[in-house]
Structure 1
């Protein structure tokens, strides 16, 4: 058994940036904002690298793929610097691609790369859809294990543990399969400068949706985006009696 791992990675507004609504109220402001790799995608990449490092000779290739604007090349270069072998950018310009279209594109890439294990983040922090992995599993007809907090390779079987209310749940499946990653699966490594330089020489293929015969037109329409209303400041109390009195004043008790 050998593994050909596909790792989708997405370019998103950096997790440390507080997003603001644009003036047209059509979405989040993206001009002059720092972008980086989606944290869940980073975890998925790290897990693929750990599988290769802890199972010598098992992984034939780790292929990173990103669907986004031309600038998403930076995210792929980061993935290559961390240890991915090859990469593909599906350039969609400034178009926002919905999860179903993403899944259809990834299916084409899976077939092209002949991948038998897909590890991807459970969700992106920009749209929080948490749908792509499940949709891709449905399109491919592969077993899936979502929200992974631990992944173990046992011969030709992969065991995935995930956190659930009150404990944990363990799923087992044989290849090919799809795994989506949760936050506590691992801690992604930092990129070293020499590896950044080496990554410039690694393969980065550029495609368009038309090259894959995929239509990315939207099925959903955003009418308006608004920030949540500001909450009034809280009040500190000195004792339980004062707390009870405050609750009575607002008729909470």
Structure 2
């Protein structure tokens, strides 16, 4: 068995699948010991979500590298890069039955997905955590969809820069025309936000040379048995809602 051809998978790429109905009660033999220990702590929907995300991680690495999914695996613990084959950065996100994994061989990446209609009490979030400039335009326009776009950009930024939400949401500032300014000194930071079905899919990444929006690949649901057979992927052609460089903040 072989994975998808890496020649057909531009860099970076985002791999997406529905969680589906995982039927197996026995854990698949391709899980690592760390993953077996982790999944033993879960039951019900959380268990299915975890197993689906681990299936997707291996399919994403296979699709990006052209290797057999059965031999692909992420590093133990937080899956931020591949262990075999080496050389691939990873970022995982899941929400409401959807799993997504971004891959890149060039630089760091951070991925966030959110249901497009999710924005309960968003004004409180803006007042508590966003910059004064962001508060002025988001609260003035009163458009929840714009808040959610900003939120996913900030979440993806924090994942890419390796930081948590607490105390760090203001390290990326978003202007009304969606120009982005961050606190990192390195060049070549970019952000892309697209709507895929009923979800916002946002990636922050670094790259060398000319940047293009990430290619989005839709995979079928994991089989009930979680077999790591080759999975064909359909390319989702979506014009990004936002695609821009992230500049260095002047303050």
**TM-score of the pair, normalised by structure 2:** 0.26
Which structure would you say has the larger Rg? 1
TM-score by length of 1: 0.26
